[in-house]
Structure 1
Amino acid sequence: MRRRLGRRGRKGFVLIKCLSLSVCIMLYFQLVIMAGTVMLAYYFEYTDTFSVHVQGFFCYDTTYTKPYLGPEDSSAIPPVLLYALVAGLPTLLITITETVLFLVQYTSKEFDRSEKTVATGDCCYLNPLVRRTFRFLGVYTFGLFTVDIFVNAGQVVTGNLAPYFLTVCKPNYTALGCLQALRYISHQEACTGNQDDILRARKTFPSKEAALSVYAALYLAMYVTCTVRAKGTRLAKPVLSLGLMCLAFLTGLNRVAEYRNHWSDVIAGFIIGTAIATFLVVCVVHNFKGKLLLSEESPTEQRPNTAMLNLGRMESPLEKYIASQNHIAFAEVT
């Protein structure tokens, strides 16, 4: 009997070790992907590793002669405000919602404190509240950097001109020969204005502000709709979701009203943000759905009257481990 129990115990511990190792490998692999995404976004945003395509223009083209209303900081929705809302609002809302939901389920059942932690392998031990919160916020952060990469890649490849491009370009039409005939200017030396403003005016398609705002709004709207199931929120959830989407739409509208983007730039940004948010919510976090915090059935109900048939058999440590884990089924998010 001891020999049989020892063999089963060794097999059980080997299986548990293998599962723990696979979980740790997947966790480290995800961290590597996240780090690579952040680095790629950094190179797009703050370095000149990727040169912007130089798109030409026609002399006196009225499409690009709109007034220049100043740098981005002077906009009605400056980048500091937009980035603060895009980063801070989802973090605050998801953290508060997950904490409230966990406390409601935590107090609804009585169980030992030693069973209120879920193990994710030998690498770490996480409370289910921390696990779910970091999962949702991690996916959201990954989506933010992904949107930034897609937008910057589109701006670098296309080099689409802003509506105020000729205002900051300040071309010398006489030297370019535009007085004799309508010409197409394709060389970068045609502009005599500030080089930073000219470079910024060549990176408008798609609109980064529109993409980030609609991504954050849609992700939060789907989170609130799929996660909050409390009574009395049947009207509150649509109002909150529509309010978030309205703010994203107003952000894109402001970009067009201030002549910083064309309508095509804003629409392309909306499409990119919507596509990435939908993909992450549906395919990665599966509409924020998971198992119940506590199983509805008691341990005696989960194990029917088969105990009488197994009186002569001793349980292995692996079977005891699985039985103790079946007592509490914490929320798993895939």
Structure 2
Amino acid sequence: MEIISALSLNQRGFFCGDQSITYPVKDETIPTSVLLSLCMFLVTFSVIILESWKVKSCRTVRFRCCATKCGHRLSRICQPILAGFTIFFIYWLVFIIDLLIKLSVGELRPNFIDVCKPNWSEINCTDSNGNLQYIFPIPCNETDNWSLQKARTSFPSGHATLPAFSVTVIILYLHEMFPKSSLRVLVQFVLVMFAYYMGISRVWDHMHHWWDVAAGFVFGTIWGYVVKKHFLGMYFPSVQSTSEKGDRLRVAENEKFIYKESV
């Protein structure tokens, strides 16, 4: 997260009566380093395992898979690894985009006042008419520049965006590969609860407003859907059951038979 220090941050002020930024600082339930590592390994290894299962299923004629550019002999190894590297880089791309949005918005976190420790002697909260004034720049007693910058990056919540992205990709994989499995529904439910807990913990920790978390869930879900359906789905085609293939073949044969009879 030190990358924030090297990038331009949009700084906002505040109104003295804004109670949404007056919450106390609390320890993080899930530190950012844990979040990044956990979600990265979850989505990367899940994609590798599911792609491996897909390729293995081709040998048992359970699914119809398109051959990869690596060739038939190497596809069992190449396709899962290539998919894993692909989702790994996309994961970090989503993280960077989320960070850039944070920097451009510059929303104050719920614990901003406690972090900043404003010098109230230099702040005049009301104008001559008694109306609340917008305070900017903000004179802070806190001198740690990193803490101050971090306190200005509330929107959107990365703790919601990254889990939502990772979970959406995995859920779509499971839905396509195991459409009739009851266990699949249970696993998907657990994944959704995992993402929800990661995001909502930031509200408990006074690190994000509820709308930051909601926006993170929306962004992450959209990113996950687009990546799975229109990127991974293009280069690593979805599996297709042989029963569906057989149905189409039977329909084609019937149409061919009817055509011959009519001729």
Q: With the length of structure 1 as denominator, give the TM-score of the two structures.
A: 0.62
* CA radius of gyration, larger in: 1
* 2:24 alignment counterpart: 67
Residue identity matched to 2:151:
A
* Matching residue of 2:44: 91
Aligned equivalent of 2:146, options 180, 196, 200: 196
CA contact (8 A) 1:206 1:265 kept: yes
Conserved in 2, the CA contact under 8 Å of 1:151 and 1:206? yes
Q: How much does 1:256 deviate?
A: 0.7
Runs of 4+ aligned residues of structure 1 deviating over 4 Å after TM superposition are: 117-121
Residues 162 and 129 of structure 1, relative CA distance in 2, 3 Å threshold: same
Q: Distance in 2 between matches of 1:57 and 1:259?
A: 17
Equivalent position of 2:35 in the other structure: 82
Q: Verify the 8 A CA contact 2:157 2:215 in the aligned structure 1.
A: yes
Corresponding residue for residue 254 of structure 2? none
Q: CA deviation at 1:84?
A: 2.4
User: Cα gap change, 1:91/1:126 in structure 2, threshold over 3 Å: closer, same or farther?
Assistant: farther
Aligned to 1:219: 169
Q: How far 1:155 sits from its partner (Å)?
A: 0.9
Structure 2 SS opposite 1:88: helix
Are the aligned partners of 2:106 and 2:153 in contact in 1 as well (CA < 8 Å)?
Answer: yes
Correspondence 1:138-217 to 2 at 5 A: 138-178=85-125, 182-188=132-138, 190-193=139-142, 194-217=144-167
Other-structure match for 2:252: none
Give yes or no for the alignment of 1:289 onto 2:237: yes
* Cα separation, 2, equivalents of 1:207 and 1:275: 15
1:82 alignment partner, SS class:
helix
C-alpha distance 200-48 of structure 1, shift in aligned 2 (>3 A): closer
Q: Distance in 2 between matches of 1:68 and 1:101?
A: 47
* Aligned-pair CA distance for 1:210: 0.6
| Change in 2 beyond 3 A, CA 1:166/1:173 | same
Partner of 1:242: 189
Q: Distance in 1 between matches of 2:68 and 2:109?
A: 52
Per the TM alignment, residue 290 of structure 1 is displaced from its structure 2 partner at its CA by 4.9
C-alpha spacing 1:83/1:49, structure 2 compared with 1 (3 Å): closer
Q: 1: CA distance between counterparts of 2:91 and 2:57?
A: 30
Query: What is the distance in 2 between the residues matched to 1:57 and 1:108?
Result: 63
Pair 47,177 (structure 1): closer, same or farther in 2 beyond 3 Å: closer
Superposed CA deviations along residues 192-219 of structure 1, whole A, max 9, x for unmatched, are 1133221111011011111001000111
SS of 2:8's equivalent in the other structure is coil
Identity between Structure 1 and Structure 2 (%): 25
CA gap 1:249/1:65 in 2 versus in 1, 3 angstroms: same
Find the aligned partners of 1:118 and 1:154 in 2 and give their Cα distance.
36
1: CA distance, partners of 2:181 / 2:32: 34
Q: CA–CA distance in 1 between the matches of 2:53 and 2:91? A: 25
**Highest RCO, 1 vs 2 (Cα 8 Å, sep ≥ 6):** 2
Q: What RMSD over aligned residues (CA atoms) do the two structures have, in Å?
A: 3.1
Query: For structure 1, which runs of at least 5 residues remain unmatched after alignment?
Result: 1-43, 110-116, 297-334
Query: Could you report, residue by residue, the CA deviation over 1:20-60 in whole angstroms, capped at 9, with x for unpaired residues?
Result: xxxxxxxxxxxxxxxxxxxxxxxx86264421111001125
Letter in 2 for 1:58: F
- Deviation of the 1:279 alpha carbon: 0.8
**CA displacement at 1:278 relative to structure 2:** 0.8
Matches of 1:98 and 1:86, distance apart in 2: 18
User: How many equivalent pairs are there?
Assistant: 235
Aligned-pair distance for 1:243? 1.1
**Which residue does the alignment assign to 1:13?**
none
Alignment of 1:39-50 (within 5 A): 46=3, 48-50=5-7
Corresponding letter in the other structure for 1:144: Y
